Amino acid sequence: MASSSLSLFFLFSLLSPILIASSPVQDPELVVQEVHRSINESRRNLGYLSCGSGNPIDDCWRCDANWEKNRQSLADCAIGFGKNAIGGKNGKIYVVTDSSDDDVVNPKPGTLRYAVIQDEPLWIIFARDMVIKLKEELIMNSFKTIDGRGASVHIAGGPCITIQYVTNIIIHGLNIHDCKQGGNTNVRDSPSHYGFRTISDGDGVSIFGGSHIWVDHCSLSNCHDGLIDAIHGSTAITISNNYMTHHDKVMLLGHSDSYTQDKNMQVTIAFNHFGEGLVQRMPR
Ligand SMILES: *[C@@H]1O[C@H](CO)[C@@H](O)[C@H](O)[C@H]1NC(C)=O
The pLDDT tens digits for 228-251 are: 999 999 999 999 999 999 998 999
Q: What is the pLDDT of residues 171-186, one digit of tens each?
A: 999 999 999 999 999 9
Non-local CB neighbours of 130 within 8 Å, separated by 6+ positions? 96, 99, 151, 152, 153, 154
109 belongs to a structural domain: yes
For ligand 1, atom 4, the nearest C-alpha belongs to: 40
User: What count of other Cβ atoms lies within 10 Å of the Cβ of residue 134?
Assistant: 23
Q: What is the pLDDT of residues 11-39, one digit of tens each?
A: 333 433 433 333 478 889 999 999 999 99
SS3 content of the chain, % helix, strand, coil (to 5): 20, 30, 50
Q: Counting beta carbons within 10 angstroms of the beta carbon of residue 205, is it exposed (0 to 12), middle (13 to 18) or buried (19 or more)?
A: buried
For ligand 1, atom 14, the nearest C-alpha belongs to: 37
3-state SS track over 172-194: ECCEEECCCCCCCEEEEEECCEE
48 belongs to a structural domain: no
The response to whether residue 40 sits with its C-beta less than 6 Å from ligand 1 reads: yes
Q: CB of 251 within 8 A of CB of 215?
A: no
Model pTM score: 0.90
Q: How many domains does the chain have?
A: 1
Which CATH number goes with the domain that contains 165? 2.160.20.10
- Cα separation of 96 and 15, whole Å? 34
Domain that holds residue 225: 5-43+53-280
Q: What is the pLDDT of residues 258-268, one digit of tens each?
A: 888 888 899 99
Q: Is 281 a catalytic residue?
A: yes
- Cα separation of 251 and 23, whole Å? 22
Cα dihedral 35/271/212/129 (nearest 10): -140
Q: CB of 37 within 8 A of CB of 80?
A: no
